[in-house]
Amino acid sequence: NLFGSRQRMAMSLGVTDLDEIGVRITSLLELKVPEGFVAKLALLPKLLAVGRFPPRMRLGTPPCQEVVWRDKDVDIGRIPLMKCWPEDGGAYITFPMVITRDPKRGIRNVGMYRIMQTGKNTLAMHWQRHKVGAAHWREMAERGERMPVCIALGADPPSMYAASAPLPPTVDEFVFAGFLRGKPVSLAKAITCDLEVPAEADFVLEGYIDPAEALVVEGPFGDHTGFYSLADLYPQVHVTAITMRKQPIFPATIVGRPPMEDFYLGHATERIFLPLLKLTIPEIVDYHMPAEGIFHNLVFVAIKKDYPGQAYKVMNALWGQGLMSLAKVLIIVDHWVNVRDPREAWWVALNNIDPQRDARFSMGPMDVLDHSSRAFTYGSKMGLDATRKLPEEGFTREWPDVITMDDETKRKVDAMWHELGLGR
């Protein structure tokens, strides 16, 4: 339960508030080369900080290779994998950092996908078709080449979080982890495959996927939706080596009906990536994915509305943004609404919508875990425009103001609050 609350999540990333990371990202995005020698010197610390982010190779034997099992010694059963729920298809690795490399561009990817044990030295890799690791596997399969893969377990919290972050395929998660840590991640060369792994990891499982082999059954699995995700066919990993620290700690998480630990990982992503979302959709003020929506089912979005139809423009833009394309329901509200408070967001939305007028339906990709869509990973989406309607949008009635107390009364009540003995 390392990341099991907002406070733990923030502490794990070295901040007191997750929005602090967003502020750091914003400061880098807004870097402009100033005029004048003194101004340029003032910019140097930020530029030097960027140079500290890329990972560095560790010399000598790394902690993650203090103990090495190879060949006949490889036995996944010696590691404490967990069967979390009664109908799970087997024992699982639930908190991995899965390391692959783009065969075309050579760019490393670190993803977080559940992994089920299928034998003494084999695993079923559940990477969804929308994930970068799955794209690497498809490319290697087209080439007919074995795909090297490493599964790291246990590392510094920023590296573990980075594996879950929805980064573009061209961004190395270990570089992002270096940004979060404020110092580079230390890497080491794997022993049996051509990949780099976190030098400080507790365990590393090295292996390969053979494209000539048939897919294997993975699942069912009690998932973060609160329902079992059904069994399906996925590639099999052959483990060629298991390396570890002398006294390793096995990391694991249990997912299920929200909120659980993975919700707080998702909440961190929500806060950290807000500046990047604003970069492409500048009218966005804030957004929130409530626990009940399990990330991809519901997103509240507050926007600064300046023209008619802007809410629909934002919906279409969001459905074109990486994994946000999987969002099932988008609800757009005005900038003053605190979308981080779902009760306030629902109150405003339900008061502001005319369902026939304000609902928009679209078809598109759906999350693999969505069991309600009409087809696997494909179905309908709904967007609701819950903003204040403009005359240009065909609204001819008077729009009422929100009930608020006048400032003079607020000042008077604030002044006498303690005298009244309230709030003690």
Average pLDDT over residues 251-257: 92
pLDDT value at residue 30: 59
35 neighbors 43 (Cβ within 8 angstroms): no
Q: Specify the higher pLDDT residue, 107 or 417.
A: 107
Between 31 and 53, where is the model more confident?
53
- Residues 261-301 pLDDT 10s: 999 999 999 999 898 899 889 999 999 999 999 888 999 99
Higher-pLDDT residue of 422 and 259 is: 259
Dihedral sign (CA 381, 387, 390, 394): positive
The pLDDT value given to residue 119: 96
Over the stretch 358-409, which tens digit does the pLDDT of each residue have? Answer: 999 999 999 888 899 999 889 999 999 999 999 999 898 988 889 888 889 9
**What's the whole-model pTM score?**
0.87
Whether pLDDT at 414 is above 60: yes
- Measured CA to CA, the distance from residue 6 to residue 220 in angstroms comes to 30
* Residue 223 falls in the annotated catalytic set: yes
**Cα–Cα distance between 241 and 121 in angstroms, integer?**
9
- pLDDT, residue 401, reads 86
Structure-model confidence comparison of residues 206 and 172, the more confident one? 206
Contacts of 372 (CB under 8 A, 6+ apart): 379
Task: Quote the distance between the C-alpha of residue 10 and its chain's center.
Answer: 15
Per-residue pLDDT, 315: 96
Fold of 281-393: UbiD C-terminal domain-like (3.40.1670)
Instruction: Classify residue 72 by burial, with Cβ atoms within 10 Å: 0-12, 13-18, 19+.
Output: exposed
Active site residue: 223, 262, 358, 370, which one? Answer: 223
Query: What homologous superfamily does CATH list for 6-244?
Result: Electron Transport, Fmn-binding Protein; Chain A (2.30.110.10)
Token pair for 47 = 């530029």
What pLDDT band is residue 32 in, cutting at 50, 70 and 90?
Answer: low
Instruction: Give me the pLDDT at residue 51, please.
Output: 57
**pLDDT at residue 44, rounded to an integer:** 43
Say if residues 127 and 113 touch (Cβ distance below 8 Å).
Answer: yes
Distance (Å, whole) CA 303 – CA 305: 6
Mean pLDDT of 343-351: 96
Which residue ranges does the chain devote to CATH 2.30.110.10?
6-244
Local structure of 139: helix, strand or coil: helix
Tens-digit pLDDT profile for residues 316-341: 999 998 889 999 999 999 999 999 99
Domain with CATH 3.40.1670.10 in the chain: 281-393
Per-residue pLDDT for 308 more than 50? yes
pLDDT of residue 29: 61
pLDDT score of 248 more than 80: yes
Residue 33 has pLDDT above 60, yes or no: no
Asked which of 26-35, 43-52, 298-307 is least confident by mean pLDDT, the reply is 43-52
35, pLDDT greater than 80: no
In this structure, the dihedral spanned by the alpha carbons of residues 98, 95, 134 and 125, taken in order and rounded to 10 degrees, is 100
Closest C-alpha to 357, from 301, 324, 306, 396: 396
What DSSP character marks residue 41?
A: H
Kindly tell me if the per-residue pLDDT of 123 is higher than 70.
Answer: yes
**Closest among 284, 289, 314, 296 to 383, alpha carbons compared:** 314
pLDDT at 38: 47
Residue 128 has pLDDT above 90, yes or no: no
Q: What is the pLDDT of residue 120?
A: 96
pLDDT (0 to 100) of residue 340: 96
Q: How confident is the model at residue 423 (pLDDT cuts 50, 70, 90)?
A: low
Work out the number of other CB atoms within 10 angstroms of the CB of residue 121. Answer: 22
Q: How many residues does the chain have?
A: 424
The pLDDT value recorded for residue 424 is: 58
